[in-house]
Amino acid sequence: MRNYKGIISYDGTHYLGWQKTRMGPSIEEELEKALSTLLRHPVQLQAASRTDAGVHAKGQVINFFTHVDIDFYRFSKGINALLPQDIRLLSLEEMPQDFHPTLTALGKEYVYEICSSTIQSPFFRDRSWHFPYKLNLEDMREAVKTLLGTHDFSSFCNDRNLIERDPICTLHSIDIEETSNHHVRIIVQGNRFLYKMMRNLAGTIAYTGCGKITADSLSDILLSRQRSLAGMTAPAHGLYLQRVLYSL
Amino acid sequence: MRNYKGIISYDGTHYLGWQKTRMGPSIEEELEKALSTLLRHPVQLQAASRTDAGVHAKGQVINFFTHVDIDFYRFSKGINALLPQDIRLLSLEEMPQDFHPTLTALGKEYVYEICSSTIQSPFFRDRSWHFPYKLNLEDMREAVKTLLGTHDFSSFCNDRNLIERDPICTLHSIDIEETSNHHVRIIVQGNRFLYKMMRNLAGTIAYTGCGKITADSLSDILLSRQRSLAGMTAPAHGLYLQRVLYSL
């Protein structure tokens, strides 16, 4: 059997998240359906990240096994015609048998988009968090230095069970960019992310931008291991799984 | 009565266009409903452009009359809370009694967005025309010179009655920009636009980019006054009413 790695992009607005559920549409179900139809055999997917309802992806990574020798150029036309327009297969390549989208990954990059203007453009309504407060980017950049490196991120995780298992993560970089007037992008690379950690980080970093949380208190929040002390969980529709990092 | 000028932005995806119709939702109906509720009297709107189904606007201009002295800051919160999230009132100002969004306008600026990559990002699916052919921007820029100035634009109008009335328009500028890899933006300023003229221009200009129409033949097409000789009508979802031009 051949092991294929695919890169997927999706607008998560109309889905209950990556994972299959009986409650409604999921990215996984749509992809499995399209791949099974085109390959003419049942396909089982594994994904690098089980994104939540409403979360988007520009570089989700999946793998699946098939005996079919796939020519990507022709295959991509077929699969993207079968998929709904808000899910696209961007690339596909054959990998060694032991490739696994999560287990062989070094980490992930997430992007969180904030719109801080008084009135949000209708074109960003499902694609950025409308947080209509003046943000001081220098304060945000100063504050996030505290979060870099290896720490116990319990204060940023919404799942007690997960915290008890292993709350230690390493954040390699946090960049704060102004992409246009009143649009701020937070880009985080890390080896792993706890449940809702990226949205809790985004909510907390936004609070440092409008003065609700200072750089000093952010350090205390991290050490406290108390979820209740950190900022709000920023909404799902501002979050993008940007890419998954592999060694090569 | 006070005469208010408003600037509106909307994502046209889920509407049958600007104009009220019994067939389904329209921007005009949603705005009239929200304004009438907030002002507590029936409101009649006039708009600078009756955009088609699926067409977007970043700077549609409307006016309406009311006896209410409106404070925009407070009013904008109320009106934008009443409006669906894909329609926003961006600004409002009181104008002289004789201000009219069309009659006092000098012209309009439309933007047409083309995505020429093999696979279209899901985030652009309702917001740019997927035209997956290599576009030569220099050829496009050379070709559009023919269209500048005052001409009979019958070859770019889908309505025979309108052509017979007055097919003469003046295009002040046509800019072709590459906004990012495989994304091309056509920006046109003109004194007036015939029915579907901007979409016919976009389709024809795209054809000059992939070599289907040359600069020389574009000149012949313009002179021919034959709609059938020009390029296709580009789809509505790539078109944006960018702004309406007034003397001040």
Q: From CA A231, how far away is CA A204, in angstroms rounded?
A: 4
Best of A10, A51, A119, A242 to disrupt the B interface by mutation (most B CBs within 10 Å)?
A119
Report angle CA A207, A211, A213 to the nearest 5 degrees: 55
Question: Which pLDDT score, from 0 to 100, does residue A78 have?
Answer: 96
Burial class (CB in 10 A: 0-12, 13-18, 19+), B191: middle
What does residue A245 show for φ and ψ, rounded to 5 degrees?
A: -100, 125
Q: Which B residues 67-86 touch A at CB under 8 Å?
A: 76, 80, 85-86
Please check whether residue B88 touches A, CB under 8 A.
Answer: yes
CB B53 within 8 A of CB B16: yes
Nearest Cα to B85, choosing from A122, A1, A179? A122
- Spell out which residues of chain A touch residue B89, defining contact as CB-CB under 8 Å: 119
Contact A122 B80 (CB under 8 A): no
CATH topology of domain A2-95: Alpha-Beta Plaits (3.30.70)
Please tell me the class of the B107-245 domain: alpha beta
Q: Which residue of B has its CA nearest to A117?
A: B90
Closest residue in chain A to residue B122, using alpha carbons only:
A86
- Which chain B residues are closer than 8 Å to A9 by Cβ? 121-123
Which helix (DSSP H) or strand (DSSP E) does residue B178 occupy? strand B168-180
Listed in order, the ranges of chain B carrying CATH 3.30.70.660 are 107-245
Q: Decide if B139 is catalytic.
A: no
Could you report the per-residue pLDDT of B64-84, keeping only the tens digit for each?
Answer: 999 999 999 999 999 999 999
Average pLDDT over residues B101-115: 95
Q: What is the pLDDT of residue A162?
A: 67
Q: Give the C-alpha distances (Å, rounded to integers) separating B65 from B43, B62, B91, B92, B187.
A: 7, 11, 16, 12, 32
- Model confidence at A163, pLDDT cuts 50, 70, 90, reads low
Name the band, by pLDDT with cuts 50, 70 and 90, for residue B158. confident
Domain with CATH 3.30.70.580 in chain B: 2-95
Mean pLDDT to the nearest integer, B199-225: 94
B159: pLDDT strictly greater than 90? no
pLDDT single digits (tens) A38-92: 999 999 999 999 999 999 999 999 999 999 999 999 999 999 999 999 999 999 9
As a whole number, the mean pLDDT across chain B is: 95
Residues B2, B94 contacting (CB under 8 angstroms): yes
- B162 pLDDT above the threshold of 70: no
Whether residue B123 is predicted with pLDDT greater than 80 in this model: the reply is yes
Model confidence at B114: pLDDT above 80: yes
Condensed to tens digits (0 to 9), the pLDDT of residues A111-126 reads 999 999 999 999 999 9
